[in-house]
Amino acid sequence: MNLASNIIINMYSTGILIVIYIFSLKHNEENSLQNKLYKWLLKITILMLFVDILSRFDGKTEPFYPLINHIGNFVVFLLNPIMSSLWLVYVYDQIYHKIEKPKYLLLLINAVNGLNLVLLICTQFFGWYYYIDTDNIYHRGPLFLFAALVTTGFVLAAFILTLINRDRIDKKHFFSLIFCGVSPFVCIIIQINFYGLSIVLHGIVFSLLIVALYVQNNNIYTDYLTGVYNRKKLELYLKQKISLSTNARTFSAIMLDLDNFKSINDTYGHDTGDRALQISAKLLRGCLRSNDFISRFGGDEFCVILDISDEIKLEETVTKIRYALEKYNCTNAEPFNLSFSMGYSVYDFNSNLSTKEFQKLIDKYMYDNKQITKEKKLN
């Protein structure tokens, strides 16, 4: 691929990423870790597309061209593993929605990127990754495959992590994340085997576009604090479940209210209150199946939709949630304990209740449960 073709294709890909970046600024939650990571992926890819042009001045010996070639290749080899490690962290966040930072993963990533930087600096003197001869021609060095392995290693780790945790991820998101990992990985393998071909960055651009369409847009329906769905998505999902229900196959819902949330906020501050909500969402995830639906209904309320048509099985799920709370409170290091008031019901197909009416029903059951709990405490 000649320089002119490389510039045209890279500028076209850059234009696509700029449009995606502007869209993400307008439509995604500014404070979510997922959105911050995604924007960094976009920015680094845009930078790499520009730098990739600088690294394509092979054979041009005019003044400044050798310097441009050196700078371009240095930055490309520096950013390659940073880009792929960011993708690994993004996938990790998609799967686990961790409240705390993945310390060991970040430590490993920093160590690998630090080693890459040291080897890259040494490359300028010993030609380990690559070297540029007196005619300003780029050549692969003896450790070129190691540099490629570092980059592909992070992408492969993200791919394997997604496969192992497929039960934790929504099906649509699962296939999107898998495909997004495959595209740049295949491009890397092709580029390694076909010297002079530059397609990896365009594979990454395609992956980021897929992420924008199928994963990032999900932020519209996600509560950024807890990582579960928001009320808007709940109403759409509940309406769909009602329309698809039959006399033989229906569904269940649980409305949960976090007890004493106002007291936690007033006593320990809003940061602690936020942590209580995050822990609550995490506990609920641990009690439910991967295909069960969890949303934050209001300030301290959650709603769960289950593919359960049997009242006994619904009671078993409620008991499981109560047990998880008791277990958490026994080992809890926080200054507060967690408990839920819960209202729940199997949707009666013959009742023809609307979305709002069914919500009001389980909300009433929840309120009744809260009152009973208060009366027990008073007695």
Question: Interior CA angle at 228 toward 37 and 343, to 5°?
Answer: 170
Q: What is the SS3 assignment for 241-291?
A: HHHHCCCCCCCEEEEEEECCHHHHHHHHCHHHHHHHHHHHHHHHHHHCCCC
Could you report the per-residue pLDDT of 223-239, keeping only the tens digit for each? 878 888 999 999 999 99
Q: Region 318-340: what's the mean pLDDT?
A: 93
Among 78, 89, 7, 74, which residue's Cα sits nearest to residue 40?
89
Could you give phi then psi for residue 249, rounded to 5 degrees? -140, 115
Q: Region 196-216: what's the mean pLDDT?
A: 80
Q: Region 57-84: what's the mean pLDDT?
A: 89
Between the ranges 1-5, 33-37, 57-61, 103-107, where is the mean pLDDT highest?
Answer: 103-107
| 285 vs 293: CA distance, rounded Å | 9
Say whether pLDDT at 370 is over 70. Answer: yes
Say whether pLDDT at 375 is over 80. Answer: no
Percent of the chain at pLDDT exceeding 90:
55
> Mean pLDDT, the chain, as a whole number?
88
Could you report the per-residue pLDDT of 261-292, keeping only the tens digit for each? 999 999 999 899 999 999 999 999 889 987 78
**How many residues belong to the chain?**
379
DSSP code string of 17-56: HHHHHHHHHHHS-TT-HHHHHHHHHHHHHHHHHHHHHHTT
pLDDT value for 28: 60
Could you report the per-residue pLDDT of 167-203, keeping only the tens digit for each? 777 666 788 888 888 888 888 888 888 776 778 888 8
pLDDT value for 132: 94
pLDDT value for 146: 95
Could you report the per-residue pLDDT of 86-119, keeping only the tens digit for each? 999 999 988 876 555 678 899 999 999 999 999 9
Q: List the domains of the chain with CATH numbers.
A: 3-221 (1.20.1070.10), 231-378 (3.30.70.270)
pLDDT value for 97: 66
Could you report the per-residue pLDDT of 124-150, keeping only the tens digit for each? 999 999 999 989 999 999 999 999 999
Say whether pLDDT at 315 is over 90. Answer: yes
More confident residue, 198 or 328: 328
pLDDT value for 379: 61
Question: Interior CA angle at 111 toward 110 and 117, to 5°?
Answer: 85
Lowest mean pLDDT among 26-30, 52-56, 157-161, 366-370: 26-30
pLDDT value for 100: 55
pLDDT value for 94: 81
8 Å CB contact between 262 and 276 = no
